[in-house]
Amino acid sequence: MNWWGKLMGGSFGYMLGGPLGAVLGVALGHQLDKAFVKIMLDPEFGSGKVERVQQAFFTATFSVMGHLAKADGKVTSDEIAVASHVMAQMQLNDEQRKVAINLFNEGKQPDFPLDATLEQFRRECHRRHNLIHMFIEILISTAIADGKIDDAEHKLLVHVSAIMGVSAGAFEQLLRMVGAQQAYHQQGHSPVHRLKEAYDILGMEESSSDAEIKKAYRRLMSQHHPDKLVAKGLPEEMMKIATEKTQEIKLAYEHIKKSRI
């Protein structure tokens, strides 16, 4: 039984307390007993369990995605489309999709506890840096969905990254990579532009050596490997997202290699 089955089956050892649990409780349509929530706040209670981390990732992703979409004062159709695309990639059943939409809407509320939610999610991740980077990448994809990231969105993304323990330099690299991934697939791009974006996807420059590029490629492939991410706590339903990331990285690498022949 996966994390969702355990959650819906009442396996309380995998239930979340704190801000994440409260947000998820509302999205599920019920409030958890206060005494039970107090027990769940014990750091030893279910801490580190993969299914628990998967539950936290699902909850944080869709709620913070909703908060980010509202950062510039309005939620655009493009941002809603990204959230819907993520749900489609995950192949959520009707019940899961309803909860994901509710989480997205909870994130849009003015009283959404962003910092507390992120701080708890960071603790739940137990320094799983690749998992945290995937979370940030999904948020960047949401912000960039309408073709640009405005100042309010960028400021919020920097804030989220800082709380999650992602350095300013690492965030800018993720921003560059995700932006390049989106641009790389746009129609009408010249071969020169597409090559530049291929380098950006790998975080490399045209002056980088073959060895440096190969090293970056292998590192990124390892970081985005679907099985490794799921083992660390990525919900199984998000494997397709990770798979698409590795395909994009591989395409970029092959493009660069061909240009150097």
Domain boundaries of the chain, sorted by first residue = 3-259
| pLDDT range class, residue 191, cuts 50, 70, 90 | low
Q: What pTM was estimated for this model as a whole?
A: 0.83
pLDDT at residue 34, rounded to an integer: 46
Mean pLDDT of the chain: 83
pLDDT at residue 190, rounded to an integer: 55
pLDDT at residue 73, rounded to an integer: 78
| pLDDT range class, residue 42, cuts 50, 70, 90 | very low
pLDDT at 62 over 90: yes
Percentage of residues of the chain with pLDDT beyond 70? 84
Rounded to 10°, the helix 151-163/129-143 angle is: 170
Question: Could you read off the pLDDT of 103-113 as tens digits, one per residue?
Answer: 999 999 999 99
pLDDT at residue 19, rounded to an integer: 86
**What phi, psi does 109 have (nearest 5°)?**
-70, 145
